[in-house]
Amino acid sequence: MPVVTKPDVPAVKDNRERFLERAMSRHHYSGDALIEVLHTAQELYGFLTPALLKTIARKLRLPPSRVLGVATFYHFFSLEPKGEHSMIVCTGTACYVAGAQGLMRVLEHRCAKAGSTSPDGKMSVQAARCIGSCGLAPAVIYDGKILPRLTPDQLNAELDRIGVK
């Protein structure tokens, strides 16, 4: 697992579930908001897992087959991580102010732009608007775990560690 997490940082609370709930609530749990909700879920988690699709179907009171059908029909939804590793950089206001653009520049330079996977398949990169951990800015979700207050140096070290050239 990643070696870049600072030892003096307390356990990180993952607020993505709460954010997804809020997105569904904003649409009054209407099935008409399915695509919007799937977008939010993918932005928060990087890709749509079976568990996520099941939760969304239940909350929006839609048949799971319909949710899966929509998720597989549109090419911009992904049901699995594309790269060996995935990194979602939060570019919301707090993270932007705290240096998210610097992290994005490192990833663009060494791996891939947001929304794509590096040519060697090592890393899929995504950007999110806010992952609900603004106090840990700039926050990054790396292989499903939140890395708080990540610096470009730490990011470079982790990319070196996993063999990104």
Residues that bind ligand FES (CB under 6 A): 90, 92-95, 130-134, 137, 139
**Nearest-CB residue for ligand FES:** 92
- Which CB sits closer to ligand FES, 130 or 159? 130
- Which CB sits closer to ligand FES, 81 or 92? 92
- Which CB sits closer to ligand FES, 41 or 60? 41
Name residue, tokens 């579930």: 17
Residue 56 CB contacts under 8 Å (≥ 6 apart), including other chains: 20, 24, 34, 37, 38, 41, 62, 67
- Which CB sits closer to ligand FES, 83 or 132? 132
**Beta carbon of residue 18, minimum distance to ligand FES (angstroms, whole number):** 12
**Beta carbon of residue 96, minimum distance to ligand FES (angstroms, whole number):** 7
Residue 107 CB contacts under 8 Å (≥ 6 apart), including other chains: 87, 89, 113, 114, 123, 125, 155
**Beta carbon of residue 147, minimum distance to ligand FES (angstroms, whole number):** 12
Identity at 144, one-letter amino acid code: G
Residue 14 Rama label (left phi>0; alpha psi -120 to 50; beta): beta
